[in-house]
Amino acid sequence: MQLVTYLAGRTPRLGAVWHDVVLDLRNLSADMAAQRAARPARDALLPVSMLALIDGGPALWARAHEVWRYGCGLVDTLDPADLQSRHVARPLARARLLAPIPRPRKNIFCMGRNYAEHAAERGAAPPDRPVFFTKPPSAVIGPGAPIVHHAITQALDYEVELAAVVGRGGRDFGADEALGHVFGYAVLNDVTARDLQKAHQQWFKGKSLDTFSPMGPVLVTADEIPDPQTLGIRLRVNGVTRQEATTGQMIFGVAQLLAALAAGMTLEPGDILATGTPSGVAAATGAYLKVGDVVEAEIDGLGCLTNPVVAAEGQR
């Protein structure tokens, strides 16, 4: 499933994309129960938020898949007007998508220097152990939302990354079990103010400004990504390719990273791990992001995350 969080009026709701339509999973679950002549019991209904779905565990995920397959059948057989009148679907082109998890409960776990060529372009040796840091929930924005070029930085950079979202929590599990803890995958752009990163010596500040964690457009469930180390990953600025690699070039794969992170530290449903970026960042060339630029971060099977760069309000 390609899960999304979309805005219906002013309310974020859980959806799933099928062809060019966003299915509303809560309304679909009610429609399905009604069509089967059953009074929809409260526990038959799906939640309206992504985190509530993730928290629900495997039984609820299986139910979401069942409801989604029912919705796909409706999309394939009904005409669009009927779909909309039943409040179960709307055209993707007219849906405003938010980040799949618009406000994570915890900081996003991130991995630094996880591609050898990127470590080299930053003048660093490949690490022997994963280099972890975090970004705060307040930095998250969705597809289409602007990345703010805060006045505090003159070195605004991008980093396309594969993000894994934890479904089943746990601690002290091995790399061989780790992918079983993943709920799904998404594109994340680890936007970075390089000058702040350097000035403060520790990475947190330079990577944590408001709007510095674009994520989306979709969260693809793990069943559709059996091997997360085989995906093409790339980033364009104004249509020009800046980063181009495959996730197979990671030094530590998703499973190794999760196992290392979970050693002695509990991972919980909804936790997000960004797995590092390939070479081609602006810090290596000096071609930093400018107001007016459009950044497209893309991973095979996970879609394209597009965000414009804008000036902060009150700035020129």
Residues that bind Mg ion (CB under 5 A): 159, 190, 277
Q: Which is nearer to Mg ion, 153 or 277 (CB)?
A: 277
Q: Which is nearer to Mg ion, 95 or 140 (CB)?
A: 140
**Per the structure block, which two tokens stand in for 238?**
């104004």
| Chain length of the chain | 316
User: Rounded to the nearest whole angstrom, what is the least distance from the CB of residue 157 to Mg ion in the complex?
Assistant: 9
Q: Which is nearer to Mg ion, 24 or 159 (CB)?
A: 159
Pairing of strands 213-214, 140-141: parallel
User: Rounded to the nearest whole angstrom, what is the least distance from the CB of residue 160 to Mg ion in the complex?
Assistant: 9
User: Rounded to the nearest whole angstrom, what is the least distance from the CB of residue 164 to Mg ion in the complex?
Assistant: 14
**Per the structure block, which two tokens stand in for 17?**
């994309």
User: Rounded to the nearest whole angstrom, what is the least distance from the CB of residue 111 to Mg ion in the complex?
Assistant: 7
Pairing of strands 2-8, 11-18: antiparallel
The one-letter amino acid at 12: P
The half-sphere exposure of 15 on its side-chain side, counting CA atoms within 13 A, is 30
How many CB atoms lie under 10 A from the CB of residue 190? 28
User: Rounded to the nearest whole angstrom, what is the least distance from the CB of residue 15 to Mg ion in the complex?
Assistant: 28
User: Rounded to the nearest whole angstrom, what is the least distance from the CB of residue 266 to Mg ion in the complex?
Assistant: 23
User: Rounded to the nearest whole angstrom, what is the least distance from the CB of residue 107 to Mg ion in the complex?
Assistant: 14
SS3 206: helix
Q: Which is nearer to Mg ion, 213 or 221 (CB)?
A: 213
User: How many whole angstroms separate alpha carbon 27 and alpha carbon 76?
Assistant: 17
Q: Which residue(s) pair with 157 in the sheet?
A: 192
Residue nearest to Mg ion (CB): 190
Q: Which is nearer to Mg ion, 27 or 277 (CB)?
A: 277
Q: Which is nearer to Mg ion, 159 or 298 (CB)?
A: 159
Share in percent of the chain as helix, strand, coil (round to 5): 30, 30, 40
Which among 144, 141, 112 has a CA at the least distance from the CA of 125? 112
Q: Which is nearer to Mg ion, 56 or 126 (CB)?
A: 126
Which among 51, 48, 45, 86 has a CA at the least distance from the CA of 66? 45
